[in-house]
Structure 1
């Protein structure tokens, strides 16, 4: 049954990725049509067409390689300065490539479509068209985060004791983790067990501070701040029972989301608290989204520095960290791993699924804004530069300098595509032979 759920999870998340790509392209498509730009193709994927259907002047379809998508607009590049291109291909290391790209850009421009080309639109309209794709990913990410954090909620400790630790062991008080089956010889008895605390008790008060049923974090903080004989009140079978627990210092989890393995020395009682999913407020959700954007931006910036580790994981058998870059194969496999988990609340599966899909959309938003062709930012930057040049010329009373020749950026595009394909293949190999595992 675990295998079945793994396959189902992979399929569901893969479909989510395809929908995210289509949603991105919808932003380009819709704004291009608003501004009168002709769009012959709307495709999800690259390579050979698997399925397509024509509606009006646009062909919609799915291609074989699900590594992205595209909306083909006519006239993406302006003709060479001085008029349209001739038939002769110029020589030079890059001139030939640029001439070929210009010809390809003009190949499907019919005489009646001359005024429907992308490059003929005002710079601000081109910026809107190219920014609309990444913006759609941002909108989807924010929506998914709101559904997850305000609808499903986040796991938080309650004051209900789900299990007791039998002896004092360092850094074992991980939320939701079962206590060890056996204690090593000579290990002292855990303070809560020695004081008579029982499983299924609910902690009502620590010292003079009382707590509601969902304030498990407050209980943990109060225990960590205590030391020595401490009055604790528990609720058992509807009755409040006062106890004295000899809280001792111990090495416990630091509860640091950025570094889950971090530990601190703090007061230790030896109880494991139950968890429940609690909805966040709109303000708390916005704060979490801001943190998510910042962490994703840091991860995008850190990709080049992580290439050696990915290479080691793919070809040298080195350990793969949970913060390692993943591709379509890796994130889809994580989707299968999520659903394959047994005896977990449904909120956990839904929350992990939606949060991961939201993180993917945040990554698509930030990556596509990089000022590198063929990414969207590679068209946004020339349009911004053209707007600056034209407005400056207008202020100085000079002639219109004309469109910026984005074809000159093509050498960078070819280098980027080669590097991207190599990186993608390496990540895909690592995702197969040495995948990232969320649950060990």
Structure 2
């Protein structure tokens, strides 16, 4: 049964990501068509075509490698007579592009080849519908439509979770006196990903003191407790010493003497760090409190998520490098390291198949996982570098800024921005993205992250 549930979880996540990819591409295609642009292809996946069907002037289909998708919007690159050569129309009305023999250098030739491939199938009647001829704001809307769709998906899923199940990551959940959710029977090193005690493990101080689930901690060594972070800080500072813990059990006041011990635990000043510090340890887990909210609350929470996502993108190369070292056995894989779609599928499968999670928690986790992937994909695509959508947005904005500057100076219209000249950057960026994707996929297969440790 657990194997079937594992497969079911993988299928749910995989289908959700495919739907997200499809909606992302619709976010490009719909405004492009609305503005009169010509869209010749809409595909999910890359590689050999598995299935396709032409409706009107657009071919819709699915390709063999479901790791992305694309829409073909005609005329992304403008002609360049000096670099590319002459453009003529043959007797059948087809556009014929001739490459100048004076092109030298790898990138120069690549740019010329890309431009030639772009223009060889364009017909004279397509001229008014070419993407590069659109007004700058139309280009921005078309290119922002894809990642904005991912952000919208994330918003909807976050909203569903926050308005029903609630949000345990809100800082407000740390307010109020902590209630013990569980007491650890023994001290399990933080570096060991297990949840059960083994022979030889030392009993935890909380277990020895007789603390139980449901106890509401009211004071620690005479200090009134108002939140779990406050209690955690006091426990960590107590080192290897005794402390008097006062608590309420079924409404009745009790006290117990706890002898905390020094143990190596993750640092709390930087949640994303893998740094370990020697601190006082007691062995309790507080109950989780959930905060619910509507659309405005969701927007605020997504603002915090955006900050974390930007930081994650800045550190992405470094963290992918760490995954590479884990693949080679040079270090253990950081449980907080990024994962690919393969890793996300495995996590989804484990979440659905474990028996210790209630059904509502499983559904919530899957929704948050899918929302998180969509938010990251949307934010990543806004990076202002080709071949990402943000690169085309930046080109459109730069095009309008040049024209405004020319008008203010009384100079001629500088014309359209030639995105083809940025293709060397696009090739480097695409290579880096492919390399990081391969490392993460291999890492998710060789040293996967497990929710169960």
Q: TM-score, normalised by structure 2?
A: 0.79
Aligned runs of 1:107-186 on 2, under 5 Å? 107-155=120-168, 163-164=182-183, 180=197
2:403 is aligned to 390
CA contact (8 A) 2:154 2:371 kept: yes
Tell me the matched-pair count. Answer: 423
Separation (CA, whole Å) in 2 of partners of 1:250 and 1:350: 38
1:232 is aligned to 247
In the alignment, does 2:87 pair up with 1:85?
yes
1:328 is aligned to 341
Distance 1:263 1:121, change over 3 A: same
In the alignment, does 2:110 pair up with 1:97?
yes
For 1:63, what is the secondary structure of its paired residue? Answer: strand
Separation (CA, whole Å) in 1 of partners of 2:436 and 2:206: 52
Distance 1:418 1:180, change over 3 A: closer
CA contact (8 A) 2:183 2:206 kept: no
CA offsets 1:191-222 (integer angstroms, 9 cap, x no match): 6765x76x5655386599999xxx98499579
CA contact (8 A) 1:48 1:64 kept: yes
Separation (CA, whole Å) in 2 of partners of 1:305 and 1:233: 47
The more displaced of 380-389 and 35-44 is 380-389
TM-superposed deviation, 1:13: 0.8
For 1:402, what is the secondary structure of its paired residue? Answer: coil
CA contact (8 A) 1:46 1:69 kept: yes
1:423 is aligned to 436
The more displaced of 4-13 and 341-350 is 341-350
CA offsets 1:141-179 (integer angstroms, 9 cap, x no match): 222222223322234699765555568x5989xxxx978
Distance 1:280 1:387, change over 3 A: same
CA offsets 1:234-282 (integer angstroms, 9 cap, x no match): 21xxxx43323235555587894545886685695x6555x45623335
TM-superposed deviation, 1:37: 0.6
2:253 is aligned to 242
CA RMSD of aligned residues (A): 3.7
Separation (CA, whole Å) in 1 of partners of 2:412 and 2:309: 43
TM-superposed deviation, 1:103: 2.4
CA contact (8 A) 1:232 1:242 kept: yes
Distance 1:251 1:143, change over 3 A: farther
For 1:321, what is the secondary structure of its paired residue? Answer: coil
TM-superposed deviation, 1:231: 4.6
Distance 1:437 1:72, change over 3 A: same
Separation (CA, whole Å) in 2 of partners of 1:423 and 1:231: 51
Distance 1:433 1:106, change over 3 A: same
TM-superposed deviation, 1:122: 1.2
CA contact (8 A) 1:85 1:103 kept: no
2:34 is aligned to 34
Separation (CA, whole Å) in 1 of partners of 2:267 and 2:359: 23
Separation (CA, whole Å) in 2 of partners of 1:407 and 1:221: 56
CA contact (8 A) 1:191 1:246 kept: no
For 2:39, what is the secondary structure of its paired residue? Answer: coil
In the alignment, does 2:413 pair up with 1:378?
no
For 2:347, what is the secondary structure of its paired residue? Answer: helix
Aligned runs of 1:254-293 on 2, under 5 Å? 256=268, 257-258=271-272, 268=282, 272-273=285-286, 275=287, 278-282=290-294, 285-293=298-306
TM-superposed deviation, 1:416: 2.8
Distance 1:281 1:266, change over 3 A: farther
CA contact (8 A) 1:134 1:365 kept: yes
1:9 is aligned to 9
Aligned runs of 1:394-405 on 2, under 5 Å? 394-405=407-418
CA contact (8 A) 1:164 1:179 kept: no
CA offsets 1:271-330 (integer angstroms, 9 cap, x no match): 555x45623335654443222212221121112223432332334464222233322222
CA contact (8 A) 1:251 1:266 kept: yes
The more displaced of 244-253 and 358-367 is 244-253
For 1:372, what is the secondary structure of its paired residue? Answer: coil
Separation (CA, whole Å) in 2 of partners of 1:210 and 1:342: 38
For 1:52, what is the secondary structure of its paired residue? Answer: strand
In the alignment, structure 1 segments of 5+ residues that lack a partner are none
1:70 is aligned to 70
TM-superposed deviation, 1:65: 1.3
